[in-house]
Amino acid sequence: MAKAKIIYTCRECGAGFPKWSGQCGDCGAWNTLEESVASASAGSGSSRRGNWAGTASAEVVNLGEVRPEDASKRLSSGLSELDRVLGGGLVPGSVVLLGGDPGIGKSTLLLQAQSALAGERGSLYVTGEESAAQVAMRARRLGLDPAQLNCLTETSLEVILATAARHAPAFLVVDSIQTVWTEALQSAPGAVAQVRECAARLVQFAKQTGCAVVLVGHVTKEGALAGPRVLEHMVDAVLYFESDSGSRYRLIRAVKNRFGAANELGVFAMTGTGLKPVANPSAIFLSGAETPAAGSCVLVTREGTRPLMVEVQALVAPSTLSNPRRVAVGIDQNRLALLLAVMNRHAGIQVGDQDVFVNVAGGIRVGETASDLAIALALQSSLREKPLPKGLVAFGEIGLAGELRPVYNGEERLREAAGQGFTEALLPEGNRKGVKARITARGCTTLAQALASVREG
Ligand code: TYD
Ligand code: MG
């Protein structure tokens, strides 16, 4: 096989050069040239100049004649929560990228999925990080039948693809994409160009053979997937493992999914025998304290396609700093600043000389604006050192004018709260109309009104 031609492409402007240099000769940017494989057809050729005579044409597909993907064709991983995050199971021919901190359980999860997905065509677990003995030991510990699992310890992309083509598995795991390297490039494994090229070839393999591929990706200190951002564009789904340090619960979130809801959340518990799906996750994010504590408020958020109850905790305490601290864990720091400003302007709550800490219990991240009201209530409760009434939940978005805005799926959230034993809900007036859930719903139109209503009890 002829060696592929290597060119150096500028990350900023896309100009290509035969040699590496510190500065792009085209746009003048520094340190932007990256090694990549030149594709034979790019740029040159007659098609550019409007002469199509020598180029073979391709078939155009009429979408009306394409049979929609059969849902029953999805492969079940045997783990209900993983299937949920994937939108109902793995789609044949799709590529999923699974990212997460070291030791969070990526290899464990995929090994567990492996045995369920073996099916008639079998599955293949490619690892560049562990020896076959280590994988076999883990499989035994997980109570899986090692005879069902095929493992390949290899890091060369060419060997991996050739082996996979021979075995034609229905499911292929590459653990991890950062350890795989191709002969076509000279850079070291894990380099941006290597990761991108190897991923692109694996995506191509998946599409051509109908094999479902899962790539494990390392994350950087900042929590983003190591390697190029383009990796996220290339694959069909991107899943992230999240966890509170020290907690035994593991959350898998779909940040992108071409075959299901984005932001879907799967919850697992790490046990002595691997990851176990948690069917009723609402229960684990609530502290379960008999008497409510000051500064704590329960809210119903909606992650993906299901409601989830979480507890926000706030601590407001006098500060000795000239610039009091604003710390947000599990919610957006800017959102907290915005809420404090609205509370100040529209509800007369001043915390300018106080340190403010907000934390979402259980290590979960809440990105929804529906959490605004609960955060505001928790802040007020901490400031006044008065707990909120027992059995109260709250949700609603707060606008800059101090108004309370309705949120989607109000009824569903209330039903979840009622099901978890909550008796009263504080919510935007727009969400109160037509409530059928068995819970006392108190609607408010402004933040000031909502804050006052709990002050009065
Ligand atoms: P692992 O899957 O190796 O993590 P990753 O591939 O994301 O780096 O998970 C290893 C951790 O999980 C390790 O700290 C031990 C723990 N663990 C259990 O608690 N129970 C188990 O049954 C297994 C296999 C691992
Ligand atoms: Mg691992």
SS3 string, 32-79, reads CEEEEECCCCCCCCCHHHCCCCCCCCCCCCCHHHCCCCCHHHCECCCC
Residue 166: partners with Cβ closer than 8 Å, 6 or more residues away: none
CA of residue 105 to ligand 1 center, whole Å: 5
Q: 49 pLDDT exceeds 60?
A: no
Nearest CA owner, ligand 1 atom 14: 103
Tens digits of residue pLDDT in 339-380: 999 999 999 999 999 999 999 987 788 989 999 999 999 999
Q: Is 103 in the pocket of ligand 1 (CB under 6 A)?
A: yes
Tens digits of residue pLDDT in 301-318: 988 888 999 999 999 999
Q: What is the pLDDT of residue 54?
A: 76
Give residue 2's pLDDT band: very low, low, confident or very high (50, 70, 90).
Answer: low
CA of residue 271 to ligand 1 center, whole Å: 9
What average pLDDT does the segment 237-252 reach?
A: 85
Residue 224: partners with Cβ closer than 8 Å, 6 or more residues away: none
Q: What is the pLDDT of residue 226?
A: 65
d(CA 447, CA 267): 32
Burial (0-12, 13-18, 19+ Cβ within 10 Å), 366: buried
Q: Is 246 in the pocket of ligand 1 (CB under 6 A)?
A: no
d(CA 435, CA 410): 8
Q: What is the pLDDT of residue 3?
A: 64
Terminal CA-CA length for the chain = 78
For the domain spanning 284-456, the CATH number is: 3.30.230.10
Check if the beta carbon of residue 132 is closer than 8 Å to that of residue 153.
Answer: yes
Q: What is the pLDDT of residue 223?
A: 63
Tens digits of residue pLDDT in 103-141: 899 999 999 999 888 766 789 999 999 999 999 999 999
Check if the beta carbon of residue 346 is closer than 8 Å to that of residue 402.
Answer: yes
Share of the chain above pLDDT 70, in %: 92
Q: What is the pLDDT of residue 115?
A: 83
Check if the beta carbon of residue 197 is closer than 8 Å to that of residue 56.
Answer: no
Q: What is the pLDDT of residue 194?
A: 87
Tokens of 362: 């259980």
d(CA 200, CA 221): 25
Ligand with an atom nearest the CA of residue 176: 2
DSSP state letter for 104: S
Ramachandran category for residue 315: left, alpha or beta (phi over 0 → left; psi -120 to 50 → alpha): beta
Regarding predicted confidence, which is higher, 192 or 397? 397
d(CA 63, CA 67): 8
Q: 47 pLDDT exceeds 50?
A: no
Tens digits of residue pLDDT in 190-232: 888 888 899 999 999 999 999 999 999 988 766 666 665 678 8
Domain ranges (residues) in the chain:
1-38, 74-279, 284-456
DSSP 131-190: -HHHHHHHHHHTT--GGG--EEE--BHHHHHHHHHHH--SEEEEE-GGG-B-TT--SPTT
CA of residue 208 to ligand 2 center, whole Å: 27
* Matching residue, tokens 């290509």: 16
CA of residue 343 to ligand 2 center, whole Å: 45
- Per-residue burial over 38-74, b if 16 or more Cβ lie within 10 Å, else e, is beeeeeeeeeeeeeeeeeeeeeeeeeeeeeeeeeeeb
* Matching residue, tokens 């790019």: 42
Nearest CA owner, ligand 1 atom 25: 274
Residue 307: partners with Cβ closer than 8 Å, 6 or more residues away: 282, 300, 301, 409, 412, 413, 415, 416
Q: Is 200 in the pocket of ligand 1 (CB under 6 A)?
A: no
d(CA 293, CA 398): 24
Give residue 46's pLDDT band: very low, low, confident or very high (50, 70, 90).
Answer: very low
Q: What is the pLDDT of residue 211?
A: 92
The matching CATH number, chosen from 3.30.420.40, 1.10.443.10, 3.40.50.410, 3.40.50.300, for 74-279 is: 3.40.50.300
Counting ligand 1 atoms within 8 A of each CB, the residue from 98, 252, 270 with the most, and so the one to mutate, is: 270
What average pLDDT does the segment 31-57 reach?
A: 67
DSSP state letter for 292: P
Nearest ligand 1 atom, CA 270: 19
d(CA 371, CA 311): 10
d(CA 256, CA 30): 32
Nearest CA owner, ligand 1 atom 1: 105
